[in-house]
């Protein structure tokens, strides 16, 4: 299925909107593999909310009417990337899913945090707070 985000998928897309979209798609797939237990269902919900909102907030940032609005959207995306990393780490530590995708997604969420921090830094001319 062709989406506005389809196309390039070597190791990681260069375009941040494409990369966050692909991350969200991978999050949905991973969440669907979690066990149908109280913990699995709740963590899946939290993970889907955080992991898919990274890209949706980047979409909003891209449509920002001011630099301040743009930076705020990117900051929210970064917070959601951090939250995604947290839930993925819980999945790994609690051994809820034995899948090679879990550590790969933890790595990708960490990379997204770094990239988004860089965007914030270059947009504001200073630190990432």
Provide the angle, in degrees to the nearest 10, between the axes of the packed helices 16-33 and 38-62: 170
Residue showing tokens 């707070």: 129
Q: Supply the pLDDT for residue 49.
A: 98
Percent of the chain with pLDDT over 90: 85
Q: Supply the pLDDT for residue 14.
A: 74
User: What gap in Å lies between CA 127 and CA 124, rounded to an integer?
Assistant: 8
Q: Where do the domains of the chain lie, and which CATH numbers do they carry?
A: 16-124 (1.20.1440.60)
Q: Supply the pLDDT for residue 2.
A: 39
Residue 118 pLDDT > 90, yes or no?
Answer: yes
Concatenated DSSP letters of 39-83: HHHHHHHHHHHHHHHHHHHHHHHHT-SSHHHHHHHHHHHHHHHHH
| Per-residue model confidence as pLDDT tens digits over 1-60 | 334 444 444 555 579 999 999 999 999 999 999 999 999 999 999 999 999 999 999 999
Mean predicted lDDT score pLDDT of the chain: 90
Q: Supply the pLDDT for residue 125.
A: 84
Residue 78 pLDDT > 70, yes or no?
Answer: yes
HSE-up of residue 108 (Cα within 13 Å, Cβ side): 23
104-120 b/e (C-beta count within 10 Å ≥ 16 → b): ebbebbeebbebbbebb
């Amino acid at each position: 299925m062709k989406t506005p985000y389809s196309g390039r998928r070597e190791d990681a897309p260069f375009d941040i909107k494409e990369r966050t979209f692909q991350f969200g798609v991978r999050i949905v797939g991973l969440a669907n593999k979690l066990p149908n237990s109280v913990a699995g269902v709740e963590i899946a919900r939290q993970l889907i909310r955080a992991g898919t909102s990274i890209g949706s907030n980047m979409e909003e940032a891209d449509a920002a009417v001011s630099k301040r609005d743009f930076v705020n959207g990117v900051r929210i995306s970064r917070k959601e990337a951090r939250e995604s990393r947290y839930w993925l780490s819980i999945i790994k530590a609690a051994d809820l899913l034995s899948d090679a995708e879990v550590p790969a997604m933890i790595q990708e969420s960490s990379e997204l945090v770094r990239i988004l921090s860089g965007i914030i830094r270059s947009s504001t001319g200073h630190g990432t707070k």
